[in-house]
Structure 1
Amino acid sequence: MLMRYAEKVWRNELGMEGLLNGDLPPETAFEVADDVAVVPTFANVIAFRTGEGLVLFDTGDPATARRNHRAIRAWCADPVRYAIFSHGHIDHVFGVGPFDDEAEENGWDRPVVIAHEAVKARFERYALTKDYNQVVNRRQFANPRFRWPDSYRYPDVTYREHHHLRSGDLTFELHYARGETDDHTWAYVPEREIILPGDLFIWNSPNCGNPQKVQRYPAEWAAALRAMAELDASLLIPGHGVPIAGKERVRTALTDVAEYLESLLSQTLELMNRGARLDEIIHTVRPPEDLAAKPYLRAAYDEPEFIVRNIWRLYGGWWDGDPASLKPPRSDDFAAVLADLAGGADVLADRARRALADGEPRIAASLIELAYRAAPKDDGVRDEHRRVFTALSEAATSLMARGIYLAAANG
């Protein structure tokens, strides 16, 4: 059933939305190849029956851990011998607990967790920034009740560049690559010709520019995708979204995403090398139109403009090239000066309203934020601030932009 759904997604007859919204039976491990099953939750859990126990590639998030466990147990009763983390994001590493509990209850060895060595450092950073991460993720996903976890299942085995795991009749070739994160693992199972890219492929424009998260690495990301494509795999099972079957399709999908990143990277660096400011670059660089139209490169989560900003940060630092932004005034003070020059915060708010009506949302956002900063207690300004950012959130194509605008609208 999952593979039939995947075929329609590949043909652009269905979007990814229905994957988690009732188009498929919930709490189900779908067998996508002999002895290989996928539980399609927010982040996929991939299970391999090896003859010597199960091997999991990623384990899901805190909210779905018990459901994922039930789904896998309905498919296979074998103990979980290994769990591989593709990286340390919490939607991929929080499903081991039910299997640990099960092992203790049955007198089994608990699953051995394998990950890149940098996952430990990520968890330590998460502990230092727990409250900040909670704020960021509440805003990004428009979920005011989201709670950031305060404990983690640390890996039992770590590696630096490559690691080979043998379980039963299957080999898991693990490879390190910086991409969305600095702790990423992708894997190849040669006996089944299966690629497990983790979040290096997510059926969306690559999450390579998230405005609220740490650095991403587009060049290494693209190189990893091209390395995967060279393996000529028959099946790709991504970290998010549906599997892709067929050697030609797998190779095409991987190389398309690599080319998308490489194009944004080369365009940005060319302009940087000419001395362009960030302002010029973000309004100039665009992904190739033919690639942006692919169903697996929709800008529905991250956006190309955000990726460009991330490339600038990686190669050029935080300063955007504008001398006035090097040491800016406090935003409230600057807003008050501009409001005074304009004739009042209400004048700025009125101009923001007209800009929105005239199809100039970026100008509207800038003006209404200035008005709000200048007069945060003015009811008329507050109402217009809410109206502008609500409109921007409704028009946003990416989840990240939508979340930030909605948070601004809600105050």
Structure 2
Amino acid sequence: MSILEKNLNKIHIDPKVTKTIENFKLISGTPKIEKVCDSVYVAINYGMGSVIIFDTEEGLVIVDTSDSRRVARKIKADLGELLNKPVKKIIYTHCHGDHWMGTAEFVCPDTDVIAHREFMDWLEYGRRLKGKDMRQNILQYNFDLPVSHRHIKIIPDKPGDEKLVLPNLLVDDCIMFSLGGLDFKIYHIECETSDHLMVWVPQLELLCCGDLYYASFPNISSPMKIVRSAYKWYKSLEQAMLLEPRYLVPSHTEPIKGKEKAAEVLRDYRDAVKFIDDEVVKALNKGKTLEEMRSSITSLPEHLANKSYLLELYGKVSWAVEGVFRIYSGWFEGNPTWLEPLPAKERNTELIDMAGGPEKILMKAAQKQDEDLHQLALELCEIVISVQPDNQEALEMKIFSLQALGLNTFNSNARAFYLGEAARISQKLGLLD
């Protein structure tokens, strides 16, 4: 039995977390092809991203193509005869790979591939930051661990199987084309990225919104990625609200059907994002520090927090506060103590000496673990590890608190960060099966 399995018997797990994970599977639901309305289908849960297909008399229009050729092949097989028609247009809602890495399986010789002009800038950003992005994806998706220890189940294409299909038609603010009696109006918006597009089909009153909306509190601030503007996000939601869609089809999670429901979802989503932005701005104008904001802006208003599509399954309110703060403010908050801080190792060496040695600090950490105060226990362990990186007792205690925190959150990203790192340290110590 591994250390991870042994620890399970000692960790108290909040039953509300277990129930939420069972009831709301953001990414790991059953793969299916769902008919949204006449001639529109969406392939959901095959991978991270969905594929939306418009079947017109003159050919197919596809919005987003999933996260790998492997996923796209499975979708193609399940779509069957629907794909007998030529694919005339493919639209990338934005540059994240889970929206366009499957394109090679759908594209035809004369297919137009449409993206925003900044899509190419984001590709260049990815090329320059390839090493950073690789490390970030390893930590977020646990690609360096056995599949059984990956808490967001993504299996990318094998090296050599990837084939990038670049856009041949770039959009600035908006563009429109018609095919098979349908008009496709493509608008530039901003949410997870600055190159985002949404696709409006007025005859069907259908809006493909990409990542503008998905059934979770949005990932306004992804912990390891470039900061996103909550202000521009909620302004883009207001732009979508003006269209009054009957069908709202995101590129993750289930489509929303019915004008009243779509209006409610877009309004609540706008209100949630705007609430975070407004609260941080108010706090900044009152001279509040980020630490003060972390303790005062901790949740959405109750009427929003209780909505199933605003549960913190993917994004988190605390992370959003951090991100919005960094959009509007620099890294220095005015206390000159932290203008030129010491390296953690130097500072913590003194703290360990003052405490009477690492054993004293770890004894206190163990006490905090017994009290279920695992964040404090982690930070105490980190003091020792920063000075003695191979201290086995500190590392094993860190594993335990990482597991406790990971098993007590239903946020898919946080769960992956906590449990992935616990497995990674266990692997380093030879304790992972």
TM-score, normalised by the number of residues in structure 1: 0.89
Residues 289 and 142 of structure 1, relative CA distance in 2, 3 Å threshold = farther
- How much does 1:381 deviate? 1.5
- How much does 1:389 deviate? 1.5
Q: Does 1:347 align with 2:360?
A: yes
Residues 19 and 389 of structure 1, relative CA distance in 2, 3 Å threshold = closer
- Residues 95-132 of structure 1: per-residue CA shift (max 9 Å, x gap): 210123xx3xxxxx332110111111111111122222
Alignment check: 8 A CA contact 1:372 1:385 kept: no
What code does the residue aligned with 1:159 have? V
- Residue 377 of structure 2 aligns to a residue in which SS? helix
Taking the aligned partners of 2:22 and 2:404, their CA distance within structure 1 comes to 27
Alignment check: 8 A CA contact 1:346 1:380 kept: no
- How much does 1:29 deviate? 2.7
Which of 46, 56, 61 is equivalent to 1:50?
A: 56
Taking the aligned partners of 2:226 and 2:144, their CA distance within structure 1 comes to 22
Q: Does 1:75 align with 2:79?
A: no
What pairs with 1:147-296 in structure 2 (closer than 5 Å)?
Answer: 152-285=164-297, 286-296=299-309
- Residue 200 of structure 1 aligns to a residue in which SS? coil
Alignment check: 8 A CA contact 1:345 1:374 kept: no
Alignment check: 8 A CA contact 2:361 2:380 kept: yes
Unaligned ranges ≥5, structure 1: 1-11, 104-108
- Residue 296 of structure 2 aligns to a residue in which SS? coil
Determine the structure 2 residue equivalent to 1:306. 319
Q: Does 1:397 align with 2:405?
A: no
Alignment check: 8 A CA contact 1:278 1:321 kept: no
Residues 151 and 125 of structure 1, relative CA distance in 2, 3 Å threshold = farther
Q: Does 1:39 align with 2:43?
A: yes
What code does the residue aligned with 1:45 have? V
Taking the aligned partners of 2:219 and 2:180, their CA distance within structure 1 comes to 35
Taking the aligned partners of 1:356 and 1:244, their CA distance within structure 2 comes to 43
What code does the residue aligned with 2:237 have? L
What code does the residue aligned with 2:49 have? A
Taking the aligned partners of 2:334 and 2:376, their CA distance within structure 1 comes to 20
- How much does 1:14 deviate? 8.0
Which of 92, 97, 114 is equivalent to 1:90?
A: 97
Q: Does 1:112 align with 2:112?
A: yes
- How much does 1:244 deviate? 0.8
Bigger shift: residues 42-51 or 385-394: 385-394
Alignment check: 8 A CA contact 1:162 1:174 kept: yes
What code does the residue aligned with 2:320 have? I
- Residue 94 of structure 2 aligns to a residue in which SS? coil
- How much does 1:297 deviate? 0.7
Alignment check: 8 A CA contact 1:204 1:301 kept: yes
- How much does 1:373 deviate? 1.1
Q: Does 1:319 align with 2:341?
A: no
Identity of aligned residues (%): 27
- How much does 1:268 deviate? 0.7
Alignment check: 8 A CA contact 1:29 1:38 kept: yes
Unaligned ranges ≥5, structure 2: 1-19, 146-154, 426-433
Q: Does 1:328 align with 2:353?
A: no
What code does the residue aligned with 2:39 have? D
- How much does 1:238 deviate? 0.8
Q: Does 1:360 align with 2:366?
A: no
- Residues 5-58 of structure 1: per-residue CA shift (max 9 Å, x gap): xxxxxxx99844287443xxx4x4322211100000321100001221100011
Residues 46 and 322 of structure 1, relative CA distance in 2, 3 Å threshold = farther
Which of 359, 367, 377 is equivalent to 2:390?
A: 377
Alignment check: 8 A CA contact 1:355 1:363 kept: yes
TM-score, normalised by the number of residues in structure 2: 0.85
Alignment check: 8 A CA contact 2:116 2:172 kept: yes
